[in-house]
Chains A and B, each alone.
Chain A
Amino acid sequence: MALLEIDRLHTFYGKIEALRGVSLTVGEGEIVALIGSNGAGKTTLLRTVTGLERARQGRVAFAGQDITHLRPHAIVGRGLGHVPEGRRVFSGLTVAENLMLGGYLHRAVPRLLAERSARVFELFPRLAERRGQLAGTLSGGEQQMLAIGRALMAEPRLLSLDEPSMGLAPVLVRAVFAVIAAIRKSGTAILLVEQNARQALRLADRAYVMETGRIVVSGPAAELARDPRLRAAYLGGEVTA
């Protein structure tokens, strides 16, 4: 049984059906990429899985248990971490406060939080230098590091990331992908939404392609990277912003 099992999920915004029966799985320790053009429903899928949007139909199971109708904080408590689109760091709070909030569920065990923030600082030395700085004053790349580090504070079993490379310079994009590889090495499964399809497919074990609320193609990432239809639509020479 897979760690995360999404089964025929439907989500609506008013009358707009943004998810039209999406099924997807992520296994223990796996990296799964989810690609698709703008407005395909990738963000909606991640938001529904984390409980920020309500599913009208279908089922989400995590570690064998139904989490479809749990509230977000309870889902996070089960071990499902999420780095949202656009980073969403708490701009008016310091780097250290942002990280502490990432470990909010373990707030009764300060020793644990200290250990974990030390590990985050090891992964992102830049954040250590800036721990007293307001998150809103960080550069885009640093904010992305903080958003990832913050999610790691809860030591999730599965981390979903929504376009973590968006708006970053190429060197930082490579850094983000390296960090994702490192996170997987530590045993955390990854569900990665990316516009940067080429790099995502190189990193991932398996991948899904979404179009207007449906999964249209899925399979081993290496196979998808060679698929001529995908090459034309998502892996063409054009640089995605």
Chain B
Amino acid sequence: MSLFLQLLFNGLTVGSFYALTALGYTMIYGIIRLINFAHGDLLMVGAFIGWTLLTTVAIQHIPIAAAIAVALLLSMAATGILGLVVDRFAYEPLLRGSRLSILITALGVSLALENGVQLGYGAGFKAYPHLLPSVYLPVGGASLGVTQIGIFALSLALMLGLYLFVHRTAIGTAMRALALDQDAARLMGIDVEGVIRLTFFIGSALAAAAGVMMGLYYSEISFTMGFLLGIRAFTAAVIGGIGNIPGAMVGGMVIGLLEAFTAGYFSSRWSDVAVFGALILMLMFRPRGIFGERVVERM
């Protein structure tokens, strides 16, 4: 029982990272049908921006909570702008072109981001400063880290905020509308390109939040961290039902739990087998994903 609880806590923490990242994949796929291969790398850039802020900008002089909040917000803003710029200059000119050219461009952006960060920061791991207290609460024989609670709560808050934005505001409704029919959306007076840029901003900012939290949680980051994480988060989006926002959140948690339980009960070497095995099973038996029955509502 205590092992089960421990794995549950770990799984939900990792699942939070996947869920936040999967949201970007799913939103971008939902509106422009692009699998943004660079999305995991934007998370990595976010983690490095957070690292830079936490280590160099003498944040020692302010309280830890404030330092983390500042690093998170600035990293989210900067990464969000980077995502927006990538969309504006790399993807937007190709939106009316072939599907393949934009997909290849996304691969190119991914490589450019990885190599750019490697050039700037070097190829080695970067140690994240130990800012979070190592306080654990005993729960049913397992220990629940205060950090884990914080990560889960913040992720949940971000996801809830996104959900409300998409479903309760005019711009959110515009996003859902253009996912369904771009030309009709234009006829409503919606600046479609502008809304797409905003979507890239939001998706990239959420990935950056995940990146900074991963740095704080695992204590180290590297320029390759976005690759595998991105693939797993994309898997989460597909399992949840690509294009579907609640699906990405649930899919992320499913992948996180699957990974934790496989690692705990078998071996961490099997976790990728479990994750991608689940993907294959899902594609075979329910290709639209968990939330796929709502085909009409893509977001």
Seen from chain A, the residues whose Cβ lies within 8 Å of a Cβ on chain B are 50-52, 71-73, 76-77, 81-82, 84, 88-93, 97, 100-102, 104-105, 107, 134, 136, 150-151, 154
In the complex, which residue of chain B has the Cβ closest to the Cβ of A94? B173
- By beta carbon, the residue of chain B nearest A76 is B189
**Residues of chain A lying within 8 A (CB to CB) of residue B173:** 93, 97, 100-101
Among residues of A, the one whose C-beta sits closest to the C-beta of B183 is A52
Shortest distance between the CB of A87 and any CB in chain B (Å): 9
Contact A84:B180 (CB < 8 A) given known A97-B173, A104-B170, A136-B296: no
**A51: B residues at CB distance < 8 A:** 186
Please, how many angstroms separate the alpha-carbon atoms of A151 and B181 in the complex? Answer: 15
| Chain A interface SS verdict (over half) | mixed
Q: What's the least CB distance linking A37 to chain B, in Å? A: 24
10 examples of A-B residue contacts, CB within 8 angstroms: A71-B186, A82-B187, A88-B184, A90-B176, A90-B184, A93-B176, A100-B170, A104-B174, A104-B190, A154-B189
Specify which of B170, B181, B189, B192 is in contact with A90 (CB 8 Å cutoff).
B181
Interface string of B95-134 (1 = CB under 8 A from A): 0000000000000000000000000000000000000000
In the assembled complex, the CB of A159 is this many whole angstroms from the nearest CB of chain B, namely 11
User: Contact between B189 and A104 (Cβ–Cβ < 8 Å)?
Assistant: yes
Q: Known contacts A101-B174, A104-B174: does B187 contact A50 (CB below 8 Å)? A: yes
Contacts of B183 in A (CB 8 A): 52, 72, 84, 88
Given A92-B297, A101-B174, is A73 in contact with B189 using a C-beta cutoff of 8 Å? yes
* CB–CB A91/B184 < 8 A: no
Return B168 CB to nearest CB of chain A, in Å. 11
* A101 contact from B177, B192, B298, Cβ within 8 A: B177
User: Cβ of B185: which chain A residues have Cβ within 8 Å of it?
Assistant: 101
In the bound complex, CA of A100 to CA of B167 (Å): 13
A73/B190 contact (C-beta < 8 A), A84-B183, A91-B180, A107-B170 known: yes
Knowing A91-B180, A93-B173, A101-B173 touch, does A150 contact B188 (C-beta < 8 A)? yes
> Ordered nearest first, which 7 A-B pairs have the shortest CB separation?
A72-B186, A92-B296, A107-B170, A105-B189, A76-B189, A92-B297, A88-B184
- Distance between A105 CB and nearest chain B CB, rounded to angstroms: 4
| Cβ contact within 8 Å between B188 and A93 | no
Q: Which B residues are within 8 Å of any A CB, using their own CB?
A: 170, 173-174, 176-177, 180-181, 183-192, 294, 296-298
Contacts of A71 in B (CB 8 A): 186, 191
Q: Per a CB cutoff under 8 Å, which of A72, A77, A90 touches B177?
A: A90
Known: A73-B192, A134-B296, A136-B296. A93 touches B177 (CB 8 A): yes
A contact residues around B177 at 8 Å (CB): 90, 93, 97, 101
Residue of B nearest to A147 (CB): B184
- Least CB distance, A193 to chain B, in whole angstroms: 15
Residues of A within 8 A of B188 (CB): 73, 76, 101-102, 104, 150, 154
Residues of B within 8 A of A81 (CB): 187
Q: Kindly state the separation between the CA atoms of A91 and B181 in the bound complex, as whole angstroms.
A: 9
Distance in Å: Cβ of B270 to nearest Cβ of chain A: 39
Given known contacts A91-B296, A92-B180, A93-B176, A101 and B190 CB-to-CB distance under 8 angstroms? yes
- With a cutoff of 8 Å between Cβ atoms, the chain A residues found around residue B180 in the complex are 90-93
CB proximity of B60 to chain A, nearest CB, Å: 44
CA distance A88 to B188 in the complex (A): 11
Closest to A108 in B: B170
**A107 surroundings in chain B (CB, below 8 A):** 170
A107 nearest in chain B by CB position: B170
On chain B, the residues within 8 Å of A92 by CB distance are 176, 180, 294, 296-298
> What are the residues of chain A within 8 A of B174 when measuring CB–CB?
101, 104
Most chain B beta carbons < 10 A, residue from A50, A90, A105, A154 = A90
Which partner residue on chain A sits nearest B171 by CB separation? A107
Closest A residue, CB atoms, query B178 = A90
Contact yes or no, A73 B186, CB < 8 A: yes
Contacts of A82 in B (CB 8 A): 187
A103 to B294, CA, bound (A): 26
Cα-based distance from A93 to B170 in the complex (angstroms): 13
Complex Cα spacing A76 to B187, Å: 7
Which A residues lie within 8 Å of B184 (CB)? 84, 88-90
- Asked if B191 and A73 sit within 8 Å, CB to CB, the answer is yes
Give chain B nearest CB distance to A101 CB in angstroms.
5
The interface centre, meaning the residue of B174, B185, B189 with most chain A CB atoms within 10 A of its CB, is: B189
**Which interface residue of B174, B188, B191 has the most chain A CB atoms within 10 A?**
B188
Contacts of A90 in B (CB 8 A): 176-177, 180-181, 184
Contacts of B170 in A (CB 8 A): 100-101, 104, 107
- Closest residue of chain B to A106 (Cβ to Cβ) is B189
Question: Closest residue of chain B to A72, judged by CB?
Answer: B186
**Chain B residue contacts of A73, Cβ below 8 A:** 186, 188-192
